[in-house]
């Protein structure tokens, strides 16, 4: 029940170097590699001959990747170009290839219907290329259904409990914050405002506030990605009307990629707009982010283990789930649309 | 096919401190915790909201335990008392709670029909509170069906083979000892007498015997517990008629708690009535007991692995299995009675 | 779908000492042990009483092996000779025994129909007992179907890719070598000749060749065993007409024994006929062989993992697979014959 027609983060671009990289996207084993020219490619990670994973020691030479077992060669489209010991390669000998786009330091992959892959719909993330922002990447394997991670990110009331040792703050303030949930075609936006509150310690690192501040948490979910824009400015100076100059801002990028039914990849970056070119601060923030994400990993994997013991049991929803429930419904509707015959999906059958 | 209507040892009381403790009893995940007042409680280890295990970082505050994920609070009856971000808790929001009784340094749990839980039927074990006896606790996880551990304890002929490096003694003496098996409603008692035999080295530690001794092994099985009373006195001084003064005595407590179909918890204590307040001897006996129990663990897990390879294959019984077979039959009958409609179980349907 | 009526290597004779050895052959747990007289025996590794593996601490005394749990004793035919605590052993109390033959430093086992086990059909391997040859043993557990290892050995074009750091040589020379495949009743022979080629570094260790050499690779497959005879002599001196004096020769013995559907045992020896009694060279060759086999192990286990993800997907064959395909067909035919009623298997039903 994967949502396949979707761009997902397969890897940070910087993590794909000379050696091929193995990934599993929506249950599909994939090998990522770079041609001599530096172009990133994604093929099925299985030689057509005897099933060998190309990622396991496969060599890239020019534009091809060579199977590590018997040396069959495949180009970036998956077409078999050479079979050692044979003069000819049979027509049609190929493995699957997948659209892969490198953009904003990320490798975006599409394992669904290639005809529907439109690179123009890949979310732009200018924070990764704007010199006024600094960021660092974190990559984690999580042993949980990607939907549990989506839920987690769409309901930040967990901060006061899961992250009380790191970024938590007052549980009550989080739980009782004003919240608005907006749903569009492929996005859910959750807005939480904490007006006139104490700035948390991390915020003070970046700004000498005059006193209390107006904080915001603006969460944008679309399948494959959650962005969380947080920050604060001096109270009453117009943060909620759009004037966010002079305070601190963090832009969190959370790439959430289904691996199997019960595992996912988590590509995280946090960009900030203050005290750039300060390596000690950068390191401090990076470490805090790693610690925070590992707290989430422990919770999510514990939750998944319990769910697996009795998958038929349902959940009970609370007020804070409003965003997460919209996110789940959005995914369910998109999945349902994928399994519908295309004439219906394109709307033709709906015409009277 | 668990026997649920039964008191089992969930933990040693001393092992439940500030942090909640996770257990699985008859397949049911349970969290144990102590309220501020020190009372031990047992709840379903699964938050009703999103399935999070409460044991994994849950905090106790006063009389409640708080879910580590989103902060929902539950009292000792499992009733949800607070949902962060909501003014109201819906009526009926609760998780399962289980009768738990602390008695004789043990936490006894009942995961069956709560209406049938009678704390008066919990076996008393005065050796844990009588100053004339000294004991130490050992806790092991075994990867075997609890019935294999019951079999093991009800047939001590294995001592000469499994424990030849520790407490074994002469295999022939064990195998050929006189044996009597008695069956009652919920107990099986196996009595083995080794009259006029050499005292084993451990016995000599506790008593200067005159020569040969009369030994006894009296095994009491009831589901969840095996007690083994062993000892010896000078031969011919009346041990078998009830006069057991002046020799050495050990009372072994073996709490056997089904965890899953193929795993169980083993809570063991061995009390002795000689050379009390001798820390070196106490340590020596404790270490010997650990070594002995690990020998059993290795055997039982090897046996379980082989059985799992071909579960349909049966066993062949030998003379020494008399006690073990009675124990298995007793458990089978009690399990069958649990699955019978209660009117029949209470006997009403049998009336002509 | 095992081929059971077949002799397989169970162990190197030298590896079976005082302690019993556990093996699983075609899914059947087996315990190997030596009687006091030194004769190697093979029994089902499961006590008839309570399923205990005899290999896990069982003791051998004279002609019997004793169960480590309750001390039941079995002779080399599997007949139960003693049950502690009983005067009598019931007639027919026995566990399965398997034909086991020690020959040429190898223990050969037969777990199929014992009536068909003919020790005369065990392949003789005189290299293990001829003083003009020196060899060393290597034993590996592989987590792959034995057929994948057979394929591997019957298609040496993988040498140039998998073993490029060890024994590889020029991939093109291997792939394009002349190849002949011959099929007989229970064998497949693949012959590959590389005429007039550069001697590889290892060959130069053993012989001062005048210049280029004529190399041969002669692979003999029969279920349970692959032998690979390789070597080279000065070009044009008649290697292909049978005159192989004066160069270097290696005789590789590859015992391939199915363990489970997805695992096998690999017993390897490599005998050489040059620079005998040179411990440093012997050690160097042994280490190179270990490194080479571990390269194969990594490839085969990666391949197996991918196959298991989607077992229904087939393979695509290439020219180099000619030998491997014959080997697979031979095994399939023998397996099919095993499951045919014996009157047909013996040919009677085919008579007009």
Say how many Å lie between the first and final Cα of chain B, rounded. Answer: 31
Measuring CA to CA, which residue among A147, A167, A145, A140 is closest to residue A156? A167
Q: Which stretches of chain A sit within 8 Å of chain C by CB?
A: 29, 45-46, 48-53, 56-57, 66-72, 83-86, 93
Q: What number is the average pLDDT over the span C333-340?
A: 91
Task: Return the residue of A nearest to B50 by Cα.
Answer: A315
Selecting from C161, C305, C316 the residue whose C-beta is nearest the C-beta of A71 gives: C161
The yes/no answer on whether domain B123-338 falls in CATH 3.30.465.10 is no
**Do strands C188-197 and C213-222 pair parallel, antiparallel, or not at all (unpaired)?**
antiparallel
Contact (CB<8Å) A71/C306: no
Contact, B189 vs B207, CB < 8 A? Answer: no
- Tell me how close the Cα of A206 comes to any Cα of chain B, in angstroms: 29
Selecting from B45, B68, B93 the residue whose C-beta is nearest the C-beta of A161 gives: B68
Assembly ipTM? 0.91
Contact (CB<8Å) B306/C68: no
What proportion of chain C, given as a percentage, has pLDDT over 70? 96
Superfamily of domain C8-119: Rieske [2Fe-2S] iron-sulphur domain (2.102.10.10)
- Tell me how close the Cα of B292 comes to any Cα of chain C, in angstroms: 13
- Chain C neighbors (3+ CB pairs < 8 Å): A, B
Selecting from B29, B46, B69 the residue whose C-beta is nearest the C-beta of A299 gives: B69
Q: What number is the average pLDDT over the span A3-21?
A: 97
- Tell me how close the Cα of A336 comes to any Cα of chain C, in angstroms: 25
Q: Which stretches of chain A sit within 8 Å of chain B by CB?
A: 151, 155, 157-158, 160-162, 171-172, 174-176, 298-299, 302-303, 305-307, 309, 313, 315-320
Tens-place pLDDT, residues A129-149: 999 999 999 999 999 999 999
Give the confidence band of B177 by pLDDT, cuts at 50, 70, 90.
confident
pLDDT at A342: 55
- Tell me how close the Cα of B21 comes to any Cα of chain A, in angstroms: 14
**Do strands B213-222 and B64-66 pair parallel, antiparallel, or not at all (unpaired)?**
unpaired
Measured between beta carbons, the chain C residues lying within 8 angstroms of B305 are 53
Q: Which site among A165, A176, A304, A306 would you substitute to test the B interface, given the most B Cβ atoms closer than 10 Å to its Cβ?
A: A306
pLDDT at C179: 86
Contact (CB<8Å) C315/A50: yes
Size of interface A-B (CB pairs under 8 A): 71
- Chain A neighbors (3+ CB pairs < 8 Å): B, C
Has residue B350 got a pLDDT over 70?
A: no
Tens-place pLDDT, residues C161-200: 998 877 766 777 777 778 899 999 899 999 988 899 888 8
- Tell me how close the Cα of B102 comes to any Cα of chain C, in angstroms: 35
**CATH for A132-338?**
3.90.380.10
- Tell me how close the Cα of B69 comes to any Cα of chain A, in angstroms: 6
Q: What number is the average pLDDT over the span A44-65?
A: 97
Measured between beta carbons, the chain C residues lying within 8 angstroms of A71 are 157, 160-161, 171, 175
Give the confidence band of C348 by pLDDT, cuts at 50, 70, 90.
very low
pLDDT at A166: 72
Tens-place pLDDT, residues B269-300: 999 988 999 999 999 999 999 999 999 999 99
Measuring CA to CA, which residue among C142, C144, C156 is closest to residue C221? C156
- Tell me how close the Cα of B54 comes to any Cα of chain A, in angstroms: 10
Q: Which site among A177, A302, A311 would you substitute to test the B interface, given the most B Cβ atoms closer than 10 Å to its Cβ?
A: A302
Measuring CA to CA, which residue among C98, C117, C106, C115 is closest to residue C26? C98
Measured between beta carbons, the chain A residues lying within 8 angstroms of B50 are 151, 303, 315
- Tell me how close the Cα of B111 comes to any Cα of chain C, in angstroms: 30
Q: Which stretches of chain B sit within 8 Å of chain A by CB?
A: 29, 45-46, 48-53, 56-57, 66-72, 83-86, 93
Contact (CB<8Å) C303/A29: no
Q: Average pLDDT of chain B?
A: 92
Selecting from A48, A69, A83 the residue whose C-beta is nearest the C-beta of C303 gives: A69
Measuring CA to CA, which residue among A286, A289, A203, A284 is closest to residue A247? A203
Has residue A351 got a pLDDT over 70?
A: no
Contact (CB<8Å) C49/B306: no
Q: How far apart are CA C243 and CA C231, in angstroms?
A: 12
Q: What number is the average pLDDT over the span A93-118?
A: 97
- Tell me how close the Cα of B182 comes to any Cα of chain C, in angstroms: 19
Give the confidence band of A337 by pLDDT, cuts at 50, 70, 90.
very high
Has residue A109 got a pLDDT over 50?
A: yes
Q: How far apart are CA A156 and CA C227, in angstroms?
A: 65
Selecting from A29, A53, A71 the residue whose C-beta is nearest the C-beta of C171 gives: A71
pLDDT at B341: 62
Can you give the length of chain A in residues?
352
Angle between helices C322-338 and C146-154 (to 10 degrees): 140
Contact (CB<8Å) A302/B52: yes
Measured between beta carbons, the chain C residues lying within 8 angstroms of B309 are 29
Among the ranges given (A54-68, C2-16, C181-195), the one the predictor scored with the smallest mean pLDDT? C181-195
Contact (CB<8Å) C50/B303: yes
Contact (CB<8Å) C84/B171: yes
Q: How far apart are CA A200 and CA A198, in angstroms?
A: 6
Task: Return the residue of B nearest to A324 by Cα.
Answer: B50
pLDDT at B344: 40
Q: Which stretches of chain C sit within 8 Å of chain B by CB?
A: 29, 45-46, 48-53, 56-57, 66-72, 83-86, 93
Contacts (Cβ under 8 Å, ≥6 apart) of C134: C271, C272, C276, C277, C282
pLDDT at B204: 85
Has residue B346 got a pLDDT over 70?
A: no
Tens-place pLDDT, residues B303-338: 999 999 999 998 999 999 999 999 999 999 999 999
What proportion of chain B, given as a percentage, has pLDDT over 70? 96
The residue ranking higher by pLDDT, A90 or B344, is A90
Tens-place pLDDT, residues C127-153: 999 999 999 999 999 999 999 999 999
- Tell me how close the Cα of A19 comes to any Cα of chain B, in angstroms: 39
Contact (CB<8Å) B172/C84: yes
Range of A268-277, A335-344, B59-68, C166-175 with top mean pLDDT: B59-68
Contacts (Cβ under 8 Å, ≥6 apart) of A42: A10, A30, A31, A32, A97, A98, A99, A100, A107, A109
- The torsion defined by the Cα of B290, B292, B297 and B298, in degrees rounded to 10, comes to 120
Q: What number is the average pLDDT over the span A286-291?
A: 94
Contact (CB<8Å) B305/C53: yes
**Residue C287 CA to chain centroid, in angstroms?**
20
Contact, A296 vs A168, CB < 8 A? Answer: no
Task: Return the residue of C nearest to B175 by Cα.
Answer: C85
B254 phi and psi, to 5 degrees?
-125, 95
pLDDT at C345: 39
Selecting from C53, C66, C72 the residue whose C-beta is nearest the C-beta of B302 gives: C53
Has residue A48 got a pLDDT over 50?
A: yes
The CATH classification of domain C131-338, taken from the options 2.60.40.180, 3.90.380.10, 3.30.720.120, 3.30.420.10 = 3.90.380.10
Measured between beta carbons, the chain C residues lying within 8 angstroms of A60 are none
Q: Average pLDDT of chain C?
A: 92
Task: Return the residue of A nearest to C173 by Cα.
Answer: A85
DSSP three-state, residue C264: strand
pLDDT at A330: 97
Q: Is the pTM of this model over 0.80?
A: yes
Tens-place pLDDT, residues A197-230: 888 877 888 888 999 999 999 999 999 999 999 9
Size of interface B-C (CB pairs under 8 A): 71
Measuring CA to CA, which residue among B189, B146, B228, B173 is closest to residue B323? B189
The yes/no answer on whether domain B8-115 falls in CATH 2.102.10.10 is yes
Task: Return the residue of B nearest to C27 by Cα.
Answer: B309
Task: Return the residue of A nearest to B27 by Cα.
Answer: A309
Q: How far is CA C260 from CA A51, A102, B163, in A?
A: 20, 44, 33
- Tell me how close the Cα of A56 comes to any Cα of chain C, in angstroms: 7
Q: How far apart are CA C250 and CA C230, in angstroms?
A: 5
Domain range list for chain C: 8-119, 131-338
> How is the beta sheet containing A59-61 ordered, strand by strand?
A59-61, A64-66, A73-74, A80-82
Q: Which site among A70, A72, A90, A260 would you substitute to test the C interface, given the most C Cβ atoms closer than 10 Å to its Cβ?
A: A70
């Amino acid at each position: 029940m994967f949502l396949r027609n979707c761009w997902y983060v397969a890897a940070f671009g910087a993590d794909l170097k000379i050696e091929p990289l193995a990934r599993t996207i929506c249950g599909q084993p994939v090998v990522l590699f770079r041609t001599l020219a530096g172009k990133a490619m994604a093929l099925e990670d299985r030689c057509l001959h005897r099933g060998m994973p190309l990622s396991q020691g496969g060599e890239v030479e020019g534009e091809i990747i060579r199977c590590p077992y018997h040396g069959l060669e495949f180009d970036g489209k998956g077409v078999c170009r050479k079979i050692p010991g044979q003069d000819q390669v049979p027509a049609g000998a190929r493995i699957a290839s997948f659209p892969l786009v490198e953009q904003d330091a990320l490798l975006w992959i599409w394992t669904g219907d290639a005809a529907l892959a439109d690179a123009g719909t890949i979310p732009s993330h200018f924070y990764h290329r704007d010199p006024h922002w600094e960021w660092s990447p974190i990559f984690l394997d999580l042993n949980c259904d990607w939907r549990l991670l989506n839920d987690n990110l769409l309901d930040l009331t967990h901060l006061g409990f899961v992250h009380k040792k790191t970024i938590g703050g007052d549980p009550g303030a989080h739980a009782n914050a004003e919240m608005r949930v907006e749903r569009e075609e492929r996005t859910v936006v959750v807005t939480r405002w904490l007006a006139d509150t104490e700035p948390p310690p991390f915020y003070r690192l970046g700004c000498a506030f005059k006193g209390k501040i107006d904080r915001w948490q603006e969460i944008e979910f679309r399948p494959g990605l959650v962005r969380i824009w947080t920050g604060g400015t001096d109270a009453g100076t117009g943060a909620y009307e759009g004037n966010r100059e002079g305070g601190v801002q963090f832009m969190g990028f959370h790439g959430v990629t289904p691996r199997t039914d019960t595992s996912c990849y988590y590509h995280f970056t946090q960009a900030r707009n203050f005290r750039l070119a300060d390596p000690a601060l950068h390191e401090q923030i990076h470490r805090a982010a790693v610690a925070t994400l590992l707290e989430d990993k422990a919770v999510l994997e514990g939750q998944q283990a319990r769910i697996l013991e009795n998958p038929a049991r349902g959940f009970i929803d609370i007020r804070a789930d409003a965003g997460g429930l919209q996110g789940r419904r959005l995914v369910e509707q998109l999945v349902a649309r994928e399994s519908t015959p295309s004439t219906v999906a394109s709307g033709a059958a709906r015409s009277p």
